[in-house]
Chain A
Amino acid sequence: MRQQITDTKINSHISGEADECLFEYLHAEMVNYALNKSCKNKEGEEELSRLEWMGFSVGYRIIERLTREWNRFKDELDMIKFICTDFWSSLYHKQIDNLRTNHHGVYVLQDNSFRLLNKVGTNSNKQYLQESPRLLAFTCGLLRGSLANLGIISTVNAEISTLPSCKFHVQVQRI
């Protein structure tokens, strides 16, 4: 009987947030690992291709599962919109705040408080600005992988000006 009571109490504790930190810690470990494995190149830039590649393979697989029951997308913009709204909010709990495009295959996705940067610092804090890009490599790959499985070949870069906001630049490659 006692067991049951504690059980229900725990149930009420489980909000959507419960297993969220698991991914964050795992991600942190992956970043750590990738940094350990890479040696800095000439310009002192970190080699993040491992992270990007892992992101790519996750994105490639997860989009397949997510879009299984969706109608066919109308066009490229429709897919990008899906990424900005449903995809993003189910992975990172919020939508992309701003989407811009030049209608020639360049898209800029801006997130004003990106989940993986949220706890690193706020506006006035520049302490970790230099290290922060390593937290975006995985997500760049994730975007690239998702788009790749939807039939869009692209390159994705990320840029941070003030924490915790960031921009992802998606450049679609036309063949």
Chain B
Amino acid sequence: MSRTSTKLDSKKVNSELFTLTYGALVAQLLKDYENIEDVNKQLERMGYNMGIRLIEDFLARTGSGRCYDFRDTAEKIQTGFKIFLGITPTITNWSAAGDEFSLCFEANPLTEFVELPDHCLNLKYCNVLIGVLRGACEMVQMEIACWFVQDQLKNDNITELRVKFIKRLEDAIPAGED
């Protein structure tokens, strides 16, 4: 007797696996640390480690070269979200100097099954993204800072991630050579 049910969609299951795994990790961190600030920090650190590896996948997959300017960077970050998470955040709110922009998410796969309880209001649930962006950009010699301005988990309409260009990192001289 064969099953009538449809086959499992491997792609969808995979993204759910990622979402749920991330959730389990956050839950574990909340259990391990008393201080929510420490959880935020830890999430960012993990994101950073992921970002410095993820950038290689990104470059290999897109074959993109160096960024001409920060607007170009913004578009590439957007592409990155599309490739890895299947979402396309909108790029808005450019600062006059062109060194700051916002990424707005209407839906965020990371928070698909998530609700924040009251005692976790300081938790930056998606802090891993900040780490990923910082790590990835650092590997292409760009120092950036980013932070959340709005968060759907905290009852905002959208999730807004602000990205700011800090400086271009110069090629370092290998240790022991002057």
Contacts and interface: CB of A to CB of B under 8 A. Distances in A.
B37 interface: no
A50 B6 CA distance: 34
Nearest to A66: B8
Given A21-B57, A29-B50, A71-B5, A58 B20 contact: yes
B27 A33 contact: no
B66 interface: no
B61 A13 contact: yes
B142 to A, nearest CB: 20
Nearest to B15: A19
A106 interface: no
A153 interface: no
A89 B25 contact: no
Contacts of B24: 54-55, 57-58
Given A54-B28, A57-B24, A89 B18 contact: no
A100 to B, nearest CB: 23
A26 B22 contact: yes
A16 B10 contact: yes
Contacts of B144: none
B79 interface: yes
User: Size range of the interface on B?
Assistant: 35 or more
A118 interface: no
Nearest to A141: B24
10 contacts: A10-B82, A13-B62, A19-B84, A20-B14, A23-B21, A25-B50, A62-B20, A71-B3, A86-B7, A89-B8
Interface of A: 10, 13-14, 16, 18-23, 25-30, 32-33, 37, 50, 53-55, 57-58, 61-62, 65-66, 69-71, 86-87, 89-91, 93
Interface of B: 3-11, 13-18, 20-25, 27-28, 32, 42, 46, 49-50, 53-54, 57, 61-62, 79, 82-86, 113
Given A10-B79, A65-B16, 15 more contacts: A10-B82, A16-B10, A19-B86, A22-B18, A26-B46, A29-B25, A32-B49, A50-B28, A54-B28, A58-B24, A66-B8, A70-B3, A87-B8, A90-B10, A91-B13
